[in-house]
């Protein structure tokens, strides 16, 4: 365990990242009425969920297979070889509906909402006036006058309502009774065809399709938190119909080796997909975390954070970024990291130096036969090939009490099976943002 008063320079932050190394410190989580149970909560418990965390003030399943039976790596095996279902009702759905829906959404996201046609989705970010990332949802445009924000872990609903107190766009902003599940893995398309028909196979990346399952209305998107082929099923009136949808997926999945699992962070790390609150937060600029392509150069309308973001981009391009640390990919030694990290493990520039950065998301990649991670390091140490040293806990370290060697590498760590629009835009560069 490293010194609990780390030396990482965080003077550019108002609230420093908590870098205290406290270890797993397991406690029993109390289930009460102050945190919401999703419509799928009991169904997840019946499927074997044995641990959970709180995400968006909803209990979120984080493990089904016990460690002694293979744990998260066994769940990963099901994802990359067969098909999996995830309870992701924590992706609360915030509806913006009304005559000014497009104009309002265009004002709060950095991309150009006018270029999103009905029944298509986009990965987007919303920033505060300082350019900090408030949320990175999937945005669904289900009609000309209706958008859904499928949000990550921050309370976007209240912020959107607060924005409109002053702006008075003609819209209603509400959380709606829609709860998604994700269907992820190479056999996901076969399962979806069995579930809703041949039209499932024709849904494009980030496309939407209205359908029904056992008489229940759903919207299906070809999206997901992995680099595998995948879909999300958004169930309308979810409090009434959760069992019908869940059981229908289980039944359709029998012939495809379906397994109910937790979100596969090891696969999303390999795909370079970020997790809000872990790899970025409201004090992180998009340019720090490889999201510069989300800031368009040719969006003529105003949006929240535009001035700060354009100033920051100019500074980055001039070689004087307005931040000390940036996100990089890391390939590192040590024993296989086979579970969630309980701490932001520290990074040093040399084996015996004080820490100067921290790991945000680590895991073991079976395909690469190596530990991989995302981490925040000083801008001067972000070049590909830079050697760094990571202070892993003794359970993963090659030698107890000694850091392991790491190298800065490109992200994503491996190609996606089904590259989504987010990845294609990133490859094309910042000017491709829309």
Q: How far is residue 304's CA from residue 268's CA, in Å, rounded to a whole number? A: 28
245: left (phi over 0), alpha (psi -120 to 50) or beta: alpha
Q: What is the CA radius of gyration of the chain?
A: 21
Q: Strands 178-184 and 230-236: what pairing? A: antiparallel
**Is 232 within any annotated ligand binding site?**
yes
What are the C-alpha distances in Å from 327 to residues 139, 230, 344, 379, 413? 24, 26, 13, 9, 14
Residue ranges of the annotated binding site are: 232
Annotated binding-site positions for substrate: 232
């Amino acid at each position: 365990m490293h010194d609990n008063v780390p030396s990482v320079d965080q003077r550019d932050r108002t609230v420093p990242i908590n870098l205290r190394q406290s270890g797993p410190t397991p406690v029993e989580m109390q289930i009460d009425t102050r945190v919401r149970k999703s419509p799928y909560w009991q169904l997840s418990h019946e499927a074997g969920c044995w641990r959970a965390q709180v995400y968006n003030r909803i209990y979120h399943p984080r493990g089904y297979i016990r460690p002694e039976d293979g744990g998260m790596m066994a769940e990963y095996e099901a994802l990359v070889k067969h098909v999996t279902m995830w309870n992701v009702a924590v992706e609360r759905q915030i509806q913006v509906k009304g005559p000014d829906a497009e104009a309002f959404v265009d004002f709060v996201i950095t991309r150009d909402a006018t270029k999103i046609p009905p029944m298509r989705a986009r990965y987007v970010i919303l920033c505060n006036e300082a350019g900090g990332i408030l949320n990175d949802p999937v945005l669904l445009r289900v009609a000309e006058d209706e958008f859904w924000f499928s949000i990550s872990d921050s309370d976007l609903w209240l912020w959107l309502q607060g924005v409109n107190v002053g702006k008075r766009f003609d819209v209603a902003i509400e959380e709606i009774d829609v709860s998604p599940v994700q269907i992820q893995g190479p056999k996901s398309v076969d399962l979806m065809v069995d579930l809703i028909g041949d039209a499932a196979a024709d849904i494009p990346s980030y496309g939407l399709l209205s359908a029904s399952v056992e008489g229940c209305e759903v919207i299906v998107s070809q999206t997901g938190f992995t680099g595998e082929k995948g879909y999300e099923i958004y169930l309308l009136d979810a409090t009434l119909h959760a069992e019908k949808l869940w059981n229908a997926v289980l039944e359709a999945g029998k012939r495809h080796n379906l397994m109910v699992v937790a979100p596969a962070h090891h696969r999303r790390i390999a795909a370079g997909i970020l997790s809000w609150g872990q790899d970025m937060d409201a004090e992180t600029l998009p340019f720090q975390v490889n999201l510069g392509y989300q800031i368009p150069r040719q969006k003529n309308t105003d949006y929240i954070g535009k001035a700060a973001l354009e100033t920051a981009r100019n500074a980055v391009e001039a070689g004087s970024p307005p931040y000390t640390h940036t996100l990089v990919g890391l390939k590192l030694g040590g024993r296989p990291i086979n579970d969630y990290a309980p701490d932001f493990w520290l990074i040093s520039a040399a084996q015996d130096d004080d820490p100067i950065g921290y790991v945000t998301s680590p895991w073991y990649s079976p395909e690469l036969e190596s530990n991989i991670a995302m981490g925040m390091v000083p801008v001067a140490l972000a070049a590909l090939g830079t050697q760094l040293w990571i202070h892993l806990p003794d359970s993963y370290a090659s030698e107890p009490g000694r850091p392991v060697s790491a190298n800065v590498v490109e992200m994503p760590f491996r190609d996606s099976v089904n590259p989504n629009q987010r990845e294609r835009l990133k490859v094309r560069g910042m000017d491709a943002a829309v």
